[in-house]
Each structure stands twice: as structure tokens, then as C-alpha cells.
Amino acid sequence: MFQNLLLYFNTWLGIRIEMHPACIPALKFIEKTLPGVLTWSKYFTWWFMHIQFLTAAVLSVHRISSIFFPLRYEKFWSQYYFIFGLVFFIYSFLPTLLWLGFGNEVSIINGILSKKRNSENIVKATNVTAVFSIIYFIVILTLGLTTSILVSSKFKAVSSSYENVAKKLTRIALTYCFVYTGILMWSVITAMNSNLNFLPLFIVAINQNLLVFSSDLMTLSLPYILLIFDTNVRKHVFRRKTPVNSNNFGFTSFLISS
């Protein structure tokens, strides 16, 4: 949640505010107060794409570990939580090293807020993002389906009533992958268009809006997906006063309601 909030804030600073001319003075004030922060916020739009995937993927890995190591998984994740976060933080910089320099540089020249666009870096960044988006989509889909299959096979040995868990996990995984397609399609199509120029000009003109929309589609969707499909999440969010029926066989991660 914290990462998604930072990502959402960064999209406003790096992309959204400049789309409204009346807000340009606010950006100019920010650049005067903190020189270079707008350039870095634009850079971090690429960085967040990678760490966003990692946090999504590790949720599935965490759930798998809770199934097969119910007595040890919590201690493991608590112990290495900071290390994983640090590794994710560093890794997310690595793909951006495939191009040198910033795609966009913001500065104040002669009292005017200016943006310098490096077209070569933008094309490289777009192509790299498209490739990683495809890889990430496949990994998330694989992890989601693997989680569902493993849960199904594990719980069949315990009780057929746990079949609902596998169904819920499958719905969550597939829905999240469908939503992730928003960023995937934007990245791939933009990369193809930079080489083939097949998109109509009016689509190119609103490309930034499409980026913002696909980013929101991904960033803001997971809490609602979990509210729809996950009984535990709904219970804790809405604080039900009535107890939820459960069958507990030592698995602390899942609570199945009737």
C-alpha cells in the first residue's frame, strides 16, 4: 500500500500536474525549492514500474510459502522483510541502466520552467519497458496459476471444502493479470509505434493520458480485487461483528466463510 501511494504521488509530480497549465506555477515553485526533483520524478515513473511488479509477485510467493511452511513462513518474512525491500529497491534501478541519462530533464531557464526531451533515451526506455512488461505479465500469470494449483492439490488432501480457496485464488490471479494488461498493452504498443509510426496522431497526442490511465488501472486495482474476492480482507476492512465460520487445519493464511 505504501509503495502504491508513493507511485500515485509520483505520477502527479512527474506527469499529471504539467498537463494542467494553471498548475505550472506550482511546478516552478517546486523546481526552485528543490532543483532536479521534477527530473527525478519523471525518471521514477520507469523505476516504479519494476518495483510495482516485484511487490505484486512477492505477494503470490508469500502465499505459496504460507501454504507449505505454515509454521515457519511468518518468521522468515519478518526476518528478511527489510532485505527483500532493499533488493527490490536496488533492482528497480538496473533496467534503467540500459539507457544513459534522463529521458526528460526539467529546469528553469531565464525564469521559465523548461523541459528538455531526449528522444533517443525515450525510445530506448520505451522499448526496454515493453520487453520487461511482457516478462512481468508472464511471471505474474504463472505465479498466480501456480498458487491456485498448489493450493488446490494441497487442500484436497485435507478436505474438499477447501476447493473454494483455490477458486478464489484463481479469480484473484486472473483478474489481476487482466488489469496488468493495461500497462502491458500501453508499453508494447508505444514501443512498436516508436519504430513503425502506425498510431493515429490524435492517439499519440493523448499518449500521456493513456499512460496515466493504465498506471491507475494497475496501481489502484488490487485493494478492490481483494475486497471482492478475499473474505479475510472484507472481514478486516468492514470489521464484521458476527463471527466468520472457518475450518482451521493449521493454515493461518486462509479463512473460508460459508
Bridge partners of 106, per DSSP, are 115
Handedness of CA 144, 147, 153, 157 (dihedral sign): negative
- Whether the model clears a pTM of 0.95, i.e. scores above it, the answer is no
Hey, which bits of 80-152 come out as E strands?
Answer: 104-109, 112-117
- Tens digit of each residue's pLDDT (9 = 90 or more) over 166-194: 667 667 777 777 777 666 677 677 777 77
**C-beta of residue 67 within 8 angstroms of C-beta of residue 154:** yes
Instruction: List all residues 6 or more positions away from 6 whose beta carbon is below 8 Å from its beta carbon.
Output: 48
Instruction: Report the alpha-carbon distance of residue 171 to residue 174 in Å, rounded.
Output: 5
Nearest Cα neighbor of 143 from 164, 165, 181, 174 is 174
Instruction: Report the alpha-carbon distance of residue 1 to residue 6 in Å, rounded.
Output: 9
Domain membership of residue 186 (yes or no) is yes
Task: Tell whether the model's pLDDT for residue 243 goes beyond 60.
Answer: no
Q: How many domains does the chain have?
A: 1
**C-beta of residue 26 within 8 angstroms of C-beta of residue 17:** yes
- Tens digit of each residue's pLDDT (9 = 90 or more) over 1-34: 788 788 888 888 888 888 888 888 999 999 999 9
Bridge partners of 107, per DSSP, are 114
Instruction: List all residues 6 or more positions away from 141 whose beta carbon is below 8 Å from its beta carbon.
Output: 173, 177
Domain membership of residue 53 (yes or no) is yes
- Tens digit of each residue's pLDDT (9 = 90 or more) over 118-155: 888 888 888 888 888 888 888 877 887 777 777 667 66
Domain membership of residue 254 (yes or no) is no
Domain membership of residue 246 (yes or no) is no
Domain membership of residue 105 (yes or no) is yes
Look at 172 and 117; give whichever has higher pLDDT.
Answer: 117
User: Domain containing 95 — which CATH number?
Assistant: 1.20.1070
Domain membership of residue 115 (yes or no) is yes
DSSP 181-230: HHHHHHHHHHHHHHHH--S-HHHHHTHHHHHHHHHHHHHTTHHHHHHHH-
Dihedral pair phi/psi, residue 228, rounded to 5°: -75, -45
> Which cell is 109 given?
531557464
Instruction: Report the alpha-carbon distance of residue 94 to residue 87 in Å, rounded.
Output: 11
Q: How confident is the model at residue 241 (pLDDT cuts 50, 70, 90)?
A: low
- Tens digit of each residue's pLDDT (9 = 90 or more) over 55-104: 878 877 887 787 778 788 888 988 888 999 999 999 999 998 888 888 88
Please report the pLDDT score of residue 30 as a whole number: 92
Domain membership of residue 239 (yes or no) is no
Dihedral pair phi/psi, residue 116, rounded to 5°: -100, 125
Domain membership of residue 240 (yes or no) is no
The boundaries of the domain holding residue 118 are 1-233
> Which cell is 148 given?
491456485
